[in-house]
Amino acid sequence: MDVTLTVNGSRREARVEARRTLADFLREDLGLTGTHLGCEHGVCGACTVILDGEPVRSCLMFAVQARGATVTTIEGLAVDGVMNDLQEAMRESHGFQCGFCTPGFLMQITAMLAENPTPTEAEIRDTLSGNICRCTGYESILNGVLRSIGAPVPESQTH
Amino acid sequence: MLPASLEEALSALAEYGPEAKMLAGGQSLIPLMSLRLAQPGVLVDLNGLATTLSGIEAGASGVRIGAMTRHRAAERSELLAQRVPLMAETMPLIGHAAIRSRGTIGGSLSHADPAAELPAVVLATEATLIARSLRGGERTIPASDFFEGYFTTALAEDEVLCAVEVPDAPPATGFCVTEVARRHGDFALVGVTAAVTIDQGLVTRARIALINVAERPVRAERAEAALVGAKPDAAAWAEAAALASTEIDPSGDLHATPAYRRKVAGVCVRRALETAAGRARGGR
């Protein structure tokens, strides 16, 4: 089946099997391997991308369902090879260790900030509850988000 | 297949029978397919009908919610917050943000997971579900008759759930949902939805639905009956909580024993009733 969609600002066309998930399509057909696949059944959040402004699990939809859609992946955040403010704040806060979950976290955070640019700490925690990180213990990720929005970062937890 | 009209979707279901499975938001069905627990031969994707089957509309005596309405749209709906506050309050408890972007109201109800929140919302609000098939046309099913067992509803194989209609509650009715989950966004170990109506200082009507204490969402009917005519006070909530926790027969699993579920159910009932009664009195 033919699929045409916009990914990170570029129009992309491909012919895919109906059963191809959006995640596999991004990785295998478009070569955008920044989107990671952890559990492949919607639990871990690593494959989160932004589809028409909403965060979605790309493992829980088929590529053919994204026809005509606008998709942003982790590759779409940096501008001309320069990390954006969120990415920079995450780096400053050591918001990742192995990095496997990072793309999903960043896309979920990006979607959250687009809707609510000044979330409270509780709102951030609530939003991030759908993404699993096995390294950091989450505090440094939370601090990265707080830093990116210019909110105070708890002193004892800064690195 | 991606039908462009409801008729086309209904024809496909009639043609393929048990081979076919409807795909709504895909947040339950696709995981089941990934795990090979579901292997449908034909997927009938209802997302092409998103405009026909979605939307939240105010009627004269209630609110109609299209089956393909996404959880996120419901979460953001002012109309729902005003007219069906129980559903609005429940939305943020369902899965996580990225799940709610895709998940649909109709999909969740049709999937009928006993641990899901929405089935208990339609039970406590005494909603009506509207289904359609090529064979039988439109059919309305009261929420109390809709859930039959584990992942099993009154829907026939060739029927599509099209909408849910939630009637307006009597004046001075308050609602509340409360649940205990190990992690925010997880399915609840136990949850409760409640509605309390207070008139002239007495409880005149109570609805209590429990999540994840049986193979389907259930009403605590003895507790409901005991509340009618009672003074809305701590003693009444405690008695109803005790009744509710004895009239259920929960099973145990890795996360909770039957005794623990019973205990937590009582606590949730008490909290939900107390908050709902406070809201009924006008203190939101």
Please determine, for the modelled complex, whether the ipTM score is greater than 0.85. yes
Residue A100 lies in a domain: yes
Q: How far apart are CA A107 and CA A112, in angstroms?
A: 9
Q: What is the mean pLDDT of the segment spanning A15-32?
A: 97
At A87 the pLDDT is: 97
Share of chain A above pLDDT 90, in %: 94
Q: Residue A131: enclosing H or E segment and its boundaries? A: none
Domain boundary (B104, B135, B167) is at B167
Report the alpha-carbon distance of residue B12 to residue A25 in Å, rounded.
Answer: 27
pLDDT value of position B183: 81
Q: Express each pLDDT in B24-42 by its tens digit.
A: 999 999 999 999 999 999 9
Q: Which domain holds residue A110?
A: 85-152
Per-residue pLDDT at B150? 95
Q: How far is B100 from chain A (nearest CA, A)?
A: 8
Which are the contacts of B105, defined by CB distance < 8 A and separation ≥ 6?
A: B65, B66, B67, B68, B69, B70, B71, B74, B118, B164
Give the per-residue pLDDT at B198: 97
Shared domain check, B61 and B149? yes
Last residue of a domain, one of B144, B167, B190: B167
Distance CA B148, CA B4 (A): 31
Phi/psi at B206 (5° precision) = -140, 140
When CB atoms are compared, the residue of B31, B92, B185 closest to A41 is: B31
- Count of domains forming chain A: 2
How far apart are alpha carbons A115 and A128 in whole angstroms? 14
Closest residue to B98, CB basis, from A18, A45, A64: A45
Average pLDDT over all residues of chain B: 95
Q: How confident is the model at residue B283 (pLDDT cuts 50, 70, 90)?
A: low
Domain boundary among B146, B167, B188: B167
Question: What span, in angstroms and rounded, lies between the C-alpha atoms of A34 and A100?
Answer: 9
- Residue B46 dihedral angles phi and psi, to the nearest 5°: -85, 0
Which member of A108, A125, A126 has the closest CB to residue B98?
Answer: A108
CB pairs under 8 A between A and B: 68
- Tell me whether residues A64 and B72 touch, CB distance under 8 A: no
Q: What is the pLDDT of residues B50-105, one digit of tens each?
A: 889 999 999 999 999 999 999 999 999 999 999 999 999 999 999 999 999 999 99
Q: Report the Cα–Cα distance between both ends of chain B, in Å, rounded.
A: 46
**Shortest distance, CA A81 to any CA of chain B (angstroms):** 27
pLDDT at B110 over 80: yes
Question: Both B108 and B201 in a single domain?
Answer: no
How many C-beta atoms surround the C-beta of residue A54 within 10 A? Answer: 17
Preferred mutation among A49, A60, A61, A105 to probe B, highest tally of B CBs within 10 A? A60
Closest C-alpha among A28, A21, A55 to residue B30? A21
Instruction: Report the amino acid identity of residue B139.
Output: R
Answer yes or no: do B196 and B138 share one domain.
no
- Show the 3-state SS of chain B: CCCCCHHHHHHHHHHHHHHEEEECCCCCHHHHHHCCCCCCCEEEEHHHHHHHHCCEEECCCEEEEECCCEHHHHHCCHHHHHHCHHHHHHHHHCCCHHHHHHCEHHHHHHHCCCCCCHHHHHHHCCCEEEEEECCCEEEEEEHHHHEEECCEECCCCCCEEEEEEEECCCCCEEEEEEEECCCCCCCCCEEEEEEEEEECCEEEEEEEEEECCCCCCEECHHHHHHHCCCCCCHHHHHHHHHHHHHHCCCCCCCCCCHHHHHHHHHHHHHHHHHHHHHHHCCCC
Whether B161 and B180 map to the same domain: the answer is no
Question: What secondary structure does DSSP assign to A7-62, as a single string?
Answer: ETTEEEEEE--TT-BHHHIIIIIS--TTS--SSSSSSS-TTEEEETTEEEEGGGSB
Range of the domain at B228: 173-280
Q: What is the pLDDT of residues A89-138, one digit of tens each?
A: 999 999 999 999 999 999 999 999 999 999 999 999 999 999 999 999 89
Asked whether residue A132 is assigned to any structural domain, the reply reads: yes
> Residue B249 belongs to a domain with what CATH number?
3.30.390.50
Residue B51 lies in a domain: no
The C-alpha R_g of chain A, in whole angstroms, comes to 16
Q: Domain total for chain B?
A: 2
Q: What is the pLDDT of residue A156?
A: 59
Task: Assess whether A57 and A7 both reside in one domain.
Answer: yes
Query: Do the beta carbons of residue A73 and residue A49 sit within 8 Å?
Result: yes
Residue B102 is nearest to which of A21, A61, A112, comparing CB atoms? A61
CB–CB of A70/A52 below 8 Å? yes
Within 13 A of B34's CA, how many CA atoms are on the CB side? 22
Min Cα distance A1 → chain B (Å) is: 11
